[in-house]
Amino acid sequence: MVSSAPHATPVAEPARASADTPPRARPWATALVLVAVTAVGAAVRLDALGQSLFGDELSTYWIVTTRDLGDTLAFISDRIEITPPLYFVAAWVAAQIDPSPELVRTPSLLAGVAAIPLVYVLGRRTTGRSAGLVAAALTALAPFMIFYSTEARAYQLMAVLVVLSTLALLTAVERGGTRWWGAYAACASLAAYAHYTSAFALAIQLAWVVSAHPAARRPALLATAAAVVAYLPWVPSLLDDLDMPDSRIMSDLSPVTPHTVRLAVEHWSVGYPYVQPGSELRDLPGIPGLALQALGLLVAIAAVAAAAARRGVRAWAGGADRRLLLVIVMAIGIPLAELLCTPLGTNMLTARNLAVAWPWFALLLATLLLAAGPRLGVVAAGLVIAGFAIGAVKMTQDRFQRPDFAAAAAIIGRAAGPQDGVIDGAVAFITPGPLTGLDATLERPHRVIRAGASQRRDGNFRVGDPILPADEVVRRAAARGGKVFVVFPQGPLAGVWDGLFAELPGGFRRESSRTLPGFIPLGVQVYAPESAR
C-alpha cells in the first residue's frame, strides 16, 4: 500500500510571478470568464470537426471502422502502427455509434475542449488564478491546439491525461493519501498508453517531485512503479515499434537541423502544425497576429526587466515557489529532452510531438505576461491573446482547412458513371493504412486508379510496393472509353496531367477544372474523349 506524504508547506505565490487576481475579484466572475473562454474554444473546434480526414487520421479510420475491438488491438500491436492503443480503443467505441470521421475524432474533440478548463485548474494550482485564466484563453485560441482537438490521433488525449496526472500528483503531495497517489499512477499509465511522447513529461514531473518534495519521494516512486507495472503488457509492442522502419523513414524525411527545429517550435507555439506554402507564420496567424504577440511579449519583458533591475534579480525572484519551477522545467525540459533523443536515431522534435508540452508553454507564457504587473500585465496578456484570436479566426477559413477530399468526392459522385475512370493523384498524402483521402469520402464504388502510390487496398502500404508508371495509370483510367476524373494536389503536379492526356491515342479534352481550397489545395479535373463531342 502506498503511504501518505505529509502536507506540503503552503508557499505564498509571488504577485510578481503570477500577478494573481486582486482580492476584490469574485470567484463567480472568474467562473463566467472561464465558461465563455471554453465555449469559444469549443465553437472553433466544432467548426473544424467535419473537415476531410487527412494524413495519419486515415490509418486510424481504417483500423477502427473495419474490424472488431480484439482485431483492432491485435493489429495495432502486430503491424505497422507505431502508436499505443488507447486512442484507437476510444475511437473504436465512438465508431460503434456511427463510423463517421466526426465520431472517430470525438475523443480528441472532448479532450481538446476539456483541456481549456483543465489548464486553468493547473494554473491555479501552480502559477496563480490569473495566469491560469490567461493560459486557458491561449489554449482555447491556439491554432495548434484547435487542429489537434479535431484530429483522429492521440496527441490531444495524451496531453490532457498528462495534465490530469500532474493535478493528481500535486494533490497527492499536498494532501497525501493512497487515493491521490493511485489517481496519479492511473493517469500516468493511461497517458503512456495514449502516446509514447508522454514519457518525457512524466519523467520530468517525477524528477521534479523527487527533488522538490523529499518527503514525497517514496510514495511518488511507488506510484510510478505501479504505473509501470500497469504498462508492462504493452512493452513487447513498444519494443517492436522501436524497431519499425516508420521512425527511420520519418527521421529521414524531417532530419534534425537548426532550420527544422526552428520550424517545429514556431508552428507548435504560435502557428499551424503543418509547414506548407500558404500555412506559414506570415499566413497564420499572419503579420498582424504576430505583431500583436510580439508587442505583448516585449511589453512584458521590458516591465519584468525594469522590475528586476530596480529591485535586483535575486530579490525580485526570491518569492517564486516550487510549483512555478515545475511549469518552467516542463515547458522547457520536454522540447529539450525530445531534441536530446536525436542521437538515438529518431527525430522526436517535430511540432506534433511537442503537443504534450503545450499546456506548460501556455502557463509559462501567461506567467511571464502577467509578471509585468497589475496594469501592464493585463495589457501584455490582452495583446498576445488578440494575436492568438486572429489565428483562431483564420482557422475557420477554407484555405487553412485540411484538403477537401469530401468536395472532390461529391463532384465525382454527381457526375461519374460506371464507364468513367478516376485517377487518385493524392501522392502527397500516403499513410500506413491502405486508404487515401478520396477512398474515405467516396460514397459508392468507382473505378479508382492511383497515381504515384501503391494500388494495395487490402492491407498496409509497404516500402517496395509496385507503383504504376503514369502512362499506365492514364491507360487504365481511360480503358472503358468514358470520362476520366483526376484528383491531385495543386502545386508542382498541377501541369503534369495535361501532358499525359495530350499523348493519349484519340486525344482527350479537358471538360472542367476546379480548385478546392485548403492548406494544400486539391485540383479536380474532368477529361472527356474527343469522340464524345
Number of domains in the chain: 2
Q: Would you say residue 391 lies in a domain?
A: yes
Same domain, 338 and 439: no
In 3D space, the residue among 321, 397, 269 whose CA is nearest the CA of residue 13 turns out to be 321
Q: Would you say residue 157 lies in a domain?
A: yes
pLDDT computed for residue 242 by the predictor: 77
- Residues 430 and 440: their CA atoms lie apart, in Å, by 13
Question: At residue 153, does pLDDT exceed 50?
Answer: yes
Same domain, 340 and 477: no
Last residue of a domain, one of 380, 400, 420: 400
- Of all residues in the chain, the percent with pLDDT exceeding 70 is 85
pLDDT computed for residue 204 by the predictor: 97
pLDDT computed for residue 266 by the predictor: 93
Least confidently predicted of 15-24, 94-103, 340-349: 15-24
Same domain, 396 and 409: no
- Where in the sequence is the domain holding 59, given as residue range(s)? 18-400
pLDDT computed for residue 390 by the predictor: 97
Question: At residue 176, does pLDDT exceed 60?
Answer: yes
Read out DSSP for 438-484? TTTT-SS---EEESSS----SS---TT-----HHHHHHHHTTTSS-E
Question: At residue 526, does pLDDT exceed 50?
Answer: yes
Same domain, 161 and 267: yes
- Residues 500 and 143: their CA atoms lie apart, in Å, by 39
pLDDT computed for residue 17 by the predictor: 41
Question: At residue 227, does pLDDT exceed 90?
Answer: yes
pLDDT band of 241, cuts 50, 70, 90 = confident
Q: Would you say residue 135 lies in a domain?
A: yes
Question: At residue 532, does pLDDT exceed 70?
Answer: no
Higher model confidence: residue 335 or residue 16?
335
Same domain, 294 and 426: no
57-65 vs 69-78: helix crossing angle, rounded to 10 = 140
Last residue of a domain, one of 379, 400, 421: 400
**pLDDT by residue (tens digit) across 412-436?**
999 999 999 999 986 655 677 788 8
Highest mean pLDDT among 18-22, 31-35, 468-472: 31-35
The identity of residue 225, as a single letter, is A
Same domain, 80 and 200: yes
What grid cell was written down for 121?
Answer: 485548474
Mean pLDDT for 285-293 is 96
Same domain, 96 and 202: yes
- Residues 473 and 498: their CA atoms lie apart, in Å, by 14
Same domain, 200 and 75: yes
Q: Would you say residue 5 lies in a domain?
A: no
Q: For the chain, give the mean pLDDT.
A: 86
pLDDT computed for residue 6 by the predictor: 38
pLDDT computed for residue 261 by the predictor: 87
pLDDT computed for residue 509 by the predictor: 84
pLDDT computed for residue 317 by the predictor: 58
Same domain, 338 and 477: no
Same domain, 25 and 145: yes
Higher model confidence: residue 505 or residue 388?
388
Q: Would you say residue 12 lies in a domain?
A: no
Q: What is the pTM of this model?
A: 0.90
376-395 vs 287-311: helix crossing angle, rounded to 10 = 160
pLDDT computed for residue 348 by the predictor: 79
Least confidently predicted of 7-16, 51-60, 345-354, 363-372: 7-16
- Residues 511 and 529: their CA atoms lie apart, in Å, by 9
- Residues 128 and 332: their CA atoms lie apart, in Å, by 19
Q: Would you say residue 8 lies in a domain?
A: no
Mean pLDDT for 116-138 is 96
Mean pLDDT for 146-163 is 97
Last residue of a domain, one of 346, 372, 400: 400
**DSSP structure class, residue 532:** G
Least confidently predicted of 79-88, 168-177, 393-402: 79-88
Q: Would you say residue 485 lies in a domain?
A: yes
Same domain, 362 and 421: no
pLDDT computed for residue 504 by the predictor: 53
In 3D space, the residue among 496, 403, 434 whose CA is nearest the CA of residue 486 turns out to be 496
pLDDT computed for residue 247 by the predictor: 59
- Residues 517 and 407: their CA atoms lie apart, in Å, by 10
- Of all residues in the chain, the percent with pLDDT exceeding 90 is 60
Domain harbouring 437, CATH code: 3.40.50
Q: Would you say residue 361 lies in a domain?
A: yes
Same domain, 517 and 376: no
**DSSP structure class, residue 188:** H
